[in-house]
Homo-oligomer: A and B are copies of this chain.
Amino acid sequence: MAQDGPRRVRERFRDGERRPSAGLAPGYAQANLVSLPQEYAYDFLLFAQRNPKPCPVLEVLDAGAVASELAEGSDVRTDLPGYVVWENGERVAEVGEVTSYWRADLVTFLIGCSFTFETALRDHGVPVRHVDQGSNVPMFLTNQACRPAGRLSGNLVVSMRPIPAGLVAKAVRVTGMYPAVHGAPVHVGDPAALGVADVATPDFGDAVRFEPGDVPVFWACGVTPQAALMASKLPFAITHAPGHMFVTDVPDHAYAL
């Protein structure tokens, strides 16, 4: 069966479908979303500048704008398959669209997502276990502090993929070609070194099954800003739900070196 393209996937989400977006519209870049009051936009952009591995900014929509240049006919309030609404660092709603929460002073940041390089991994013969298993990628809050910026601070969040030991080097080289979507891993092996007690119980997303000989490999993750929203208790924000991304019209390779 032919897979839906990015525009059709956005329409499905706009029509109410709610599911992680990993594996959908293969070959097209996906993005994390953070919408914040203008008042906090500088601190956020500076946080991204100081933490480019987890926060590679692909686009900034001016206050109140909802159409992304990365996706024709898009509306960032409705076109993702899941959102979290935040108040004072607490999740106050998990919803399928956010038009009723929207404010004219919200500046929207689209941030690169590692789902973008998963097609390249598979094309190079590196299995992507969570896609094969039809689940969301597992994500973990680490003990590694990001560099603070203004009112924003928090720890790094990582995504984890089990990679066959003999393919770790290939996974590093392939993903290293995609710095705008988190690039090479931040850590290979021992989860404890990141403060991750158990790779089977992710903080976000789904657990993934390891195959014999797999090594856990960790990439910086665009959920990191959500950890910063929590830690910094920002009065208001809207984000995507972890793993529920904005699917763009931009081919993956546009973000390759």
The residues of A with any CB-CB pair to B shorter than 8 Å are: 41-42, 45-46, 49-50, 57, 60, 257
Which residue of B is nearest A63, CB measured? B150
A contact face: mostly helix, strand, loop, or mixed: helix
Q: Which of B41, B46, B57, B60 contacts A60 (CB 8 A)?
A: B46
Expressed in whole angstroms, the minimum distance between the Cβ of A84 and any Cβ of chain B is 24
Q: What are 12 inter-chain pairs, A to B, with CB distance below 8 A? A: A41-B42, A42-B42, A42-B45, A45-B45, A45-B46, A45-B49, A46-B60, A49-B49, A49-B57, A49-B60, A50-B60, A257-B257
Which residues of B have CB within 8 Å of A42?
41-42, 45
CA distance A125 to B57 in the complex (A): 36
In the assembled complex, the CB of A65 is this many whole angstroms from the nearest CB of chain B, namely: 13
Q: How far is the CA of A49 from the CA of B55 in the complex (A)?
A: 12
A39 → B minimal CB distance (Å): 10
Report chain B residues within 8 Å CB of A257.
257
CA of A257 to CA of B256, assembled, Å: 13
Question: Min CB distance, A56 to chain B, in Å?
Answer: 10
C-alpha spacing A60/B60, complex, angstroms: 19
Residues on the B chain within 8 Å of A57, using CB: 49
Nearest-Cβ distance from residue A181 to partner chain B, whole angstroms: 15
* Complexed CA–CA distance, A132 and B154 (Å): 48
When C-beta atoms are compared, the residue in chain B nearest to A38 turns out to be: B42
Residues of B within 8 A of A41 (CB): 42
Give the docked Cα–Cα distance between A45 and B150 (Å): 14
Residues of B within 8 A of A46 (CB): 45, 60
Interface centre among A41, A45, A50, A60 (most CB of B within 10 A): A45
CB-defined contacts of A45 to chain B, threshold 8 Å: 42, 45-46, 49
For residue A60, which residues in chain B have a CB less than 8 angstroms away from its CB? 46, 49-50
A50 to B69 CA separation, bound complex (whole angstroms): 12
Distance A49 CA – B41 CA, assembled complex (angstroms): 13
Q: Determine the distance from Cα of A182 to Cα of B41 in the docked complex, in whole angstroms.
A: 25
